[in-house]
Structure 1
Amino acid sequence: MAQAAERALFGCVRELVDRRRREPGEDVISDLAALGELPEEEIVALTAQLIFAGHSTAVRHIVLGVLRLLRHPEQYTALGADPSLVPGAVEEMLRMSVPSDHGLVRYAHTDLTVDRVTIATSDAVLLFHRVANRDPAAFPDLDRFDTTRRPDHPSLAFGYATRLCVGAQLARAQLQSILT
């Protein structure tokens, strides 16, 4: 039954890619559909990942954020009294509620030393968002959930720079809309 559902789901995604190829729009799926150098199966898989992985991540952040607000009623009250706090509250929720415990594998481009540990060029390094989002230099009083916090740096829940998730702004907009 699960395999049949997966086949049907990928069939729908394949139809979407085909439709965007025939009738392109100004969207990422049209851009993917136009890539001639990627195999069809890879385009369909990437499209499915963009649609569904992004959705489940946003849902997890919404659930974890709302749960955190329910556990901190004073923060919920402050947010209700001042909706201008919503963007900062979203960043705080993202900072405190990373929905994944698995890290990201990256490879060193040069030799470097971090806290007396030498990392050689090409060494694999496992990065954890949860740790980066709890840096006391970037987030003073880091154990406190504070919807009024105005961090100097946004949460790293969706990565950073060239490794920023393509759906980061959409997820932030969804969270802000729901909280508002």
Structure 2
Amino acid sequence: MSDRGQALVHDVPLDVAQQHDPYPLFERIRKHGAIQRVRLNPTLEVWMITGYDEAVSALTDPKLSSSPVRVDGLTEEMDHQERTNVLMASMLVADGENHTRLRNLVSRAFTSRRVEMLAPRIQEHTDAFLDAIALRGTADLVSEFALPLPMAVLSELIGIPVDDQPDFAKLAVGLIMPPNTPERLAKGARARAELTTFFEPLIAQRKAEPRDDLLSALCAAQAEERISDRELTAMAILLTLAGHETTAGLIANGIHALLRNPDQFTALRDDPALLPAAVEELLRYEGPVSRGVARFTVEPFDIAGVSIPAGQMIIIGLAAANRDPARFDRPDILDIARREVPQQLAFGHGVHFCLGAPLARAEARIAIGTLLRRFPDLKLAAPDETLTRREGILRGMASLPVTFTPQS
């Protein structure tokens, strides 16, 4: 490794997802090399990948583990997590045959046909939420649209009874895992405990009385895929949390980006055929995963001329890679008509590629397309610099106040 890479350690704050514009920080780090040492807190230094090609390489390399190993500065907290965090039994942190076994369970139940059948219901839910705000001419598109829409869709898909739904918007902090502040980790642990209490009896009910929903399909496939009850509960929680918060972030971030770029808003409003490409560009430009995904070295690992010892954490910066100027022309410019560009990495890459990507894309296309069609003069109702982001490891808007011409 070069002396330049060894000499510098860059500070990447834990709240980078809440920053108004974290991308200049990623670019400053990348200028020193695509793989750098970064400091997440006073006691924890890790590696961060900001280059696109290097990110793809790391995401597809089987020598990197998704399961936390003993990393200096994380050992005590990870010991506690392994004992208490139900998500440690999910495919989020699984490798090799174990990951394949868990992923097969979802793949068998979460079919493309099931997603395709949801499209009319996504449209119906979208219309209903927009009907509720149409007369007013003002709305918060986070609390009144971007958050409840994917929750309504997931409730039907997974089989969460409407009357029994907890407030999943708040419980989304259950995804918080180390490294993070003690306060956030405790809040995430409480959320996961509530979700476990919610799902365990619901799973037992679906085993006894199957229905036409994803949870029943997961229960039916459980024995064949050798899935434990804890793993099944972890799967239900992961699908709900990840499928809700990431899609809500995609929709809200996408609308926000379009409103900040009126030329792109107008182009998409006037030509709905651009919607599929626009969703890909919005994922690249302002996806919901900002800091990145973690991988761990179980043995010495060499990448792009950099040697990383065993027992180290690597953060693969998906948002940073999506703005790598070596792979994207004018990466900081939103351009929904981009042509012949590399695949954006917002959903990851390789064996851990997001299983819910087709559903998220469908929801975003329908939600954003319908919104622009129904409210063609949509505008921000507050200065952009006053808008804040949601708490957590994912990047999403806390609120998105807008105005438009009221409609009957």
In the superposition, the TM-score normalised over structure 1's length comes to: 0.81
Residue 299 of structure 2 corresponds to residue 112 of structure 1: no
Greater radius of gyration (CA): 2
Deviation at 1:113, TM superposition (A): 3.8
Instruction: Provide Cα deviations, 1:85-116, integer angstroms capped at 9, x if missing partner.
Output: 111111111111132333322245774341x4
What's 2:184 paired with?
A: none
Distance 1:5 1:157 in 2: 25
> For structure 1, which segment, 44-53 or 76-85, has the greater mean C-alpha deviation from structure 2 after superposition?
44-53
> How far does the alpha carbon of each residue in 1:66-103 deviate from its partner, in whole angstroms, 9 at most, with x for none?
00011111101100111111111111111111323333
The reply on whether 1:14 has 2:203 as its aligned counterpart is no
CA RMSD of aligned residues (A): 3.0
1:129, distance to aligned residue in structure 2 (A): 0.5
Unaligned runs of 5+ in 1: none
Match of 1:142 among 322, 325, 331: 331
Q: How far is 1:170 from its partner? A: 0.9
After TM superposition, the structure 1 = structure 2 runs for residues 46-57 of structure 1, keeping only pairs within 5 Å, are 46-57=235-246
Q: Is the 8 A contact 1:69 1:75 kept in 2?
A: yes
Residues 129 and 150 of structure 1, relative CA distance in 2, 3 Å threshold: same
Question: What are the superposed Cα offsets for residues 126-178 of structure 1, whole Å, 9 maximum, x if unpaired?
Answer: 21101111122331111110111134322211101211011111111111111
Report the Cα distance in structure 2 between the residues aligned to 1:92 and 1:51, rounded to whole angstroms: 25
**Alignment correspondent of 2:218:** 31
* CA gap 1:45/1:171 in 2 versus in 1, 3 angstroms: same
| Equivalent AA in structure 2 for residue 87 of structure 1 | P
Q: Distance in 2 between matches of 1:163 and 1:5?
A: 22
Structure 2, unaligned stretches of length 5 or more?
A: 1-170, 172-189, 370-408
In the alignment, residue 200 of structure 2 is paired with which amino acid?
Answer: R
Q: Between 71-80 and 105-114, report the one with greater CA deviation.
A: 105-114
Structure 1 residues 28 and 98: CA distance shift in structure 2, 3 A: same
- The match for 1:45 is 234
Q: Is the 8 A contact 1:158 1:165 kept in 2?
A: yes
Q: Is the 8 A contact 2:300 2:307 kept in 1?
A: no
Alignment-derived partner of residue 73 in structure 1: 262
Does structure 2 retain, via aligned residues, the 8 Å contact 1:79–1:85? yes
Work out whether residues 301 and 308 of structure 2, in 8 Å CA contact, stay in contact via their aligned partners in 1: yes
Secondary structure of 1:106 counterpart = strand
- Aligned residues between the structures: 177
Distance between the aligned counterparts of 2:323 and 2:215, measured in 1? Answer: 32
8 Å contact from structure 1 (residues 21, 30) kept in 2: no
**Between 31-40 and 132-141, the greater mean CA deviation after superposition:** 31-40
For 1:19 and 1:137, how far apart are their aligned partners in 2?
Answer: 52
Q: Percent identity over the alignment?
A: 34
The match for 2:253 is 64
Question: Structure 1 residue 129 and structure 2 residue 318: aligned?
Answer: yes
Deviation at 1:41, TM superposition (A): 2.8
Provide the rounded CA distance (Å) in 2 between the counterparts of 1:93 and 1:147: 8
1:83 alignment counterpart: 272
* Contact 1:138-1:151 at 8 Å conserved across structures: no
Q: 1:120 to 1:33 in 2, by over 3 A?
A: farther
Q: Secondary structure at the match of 1:34?
A: helix
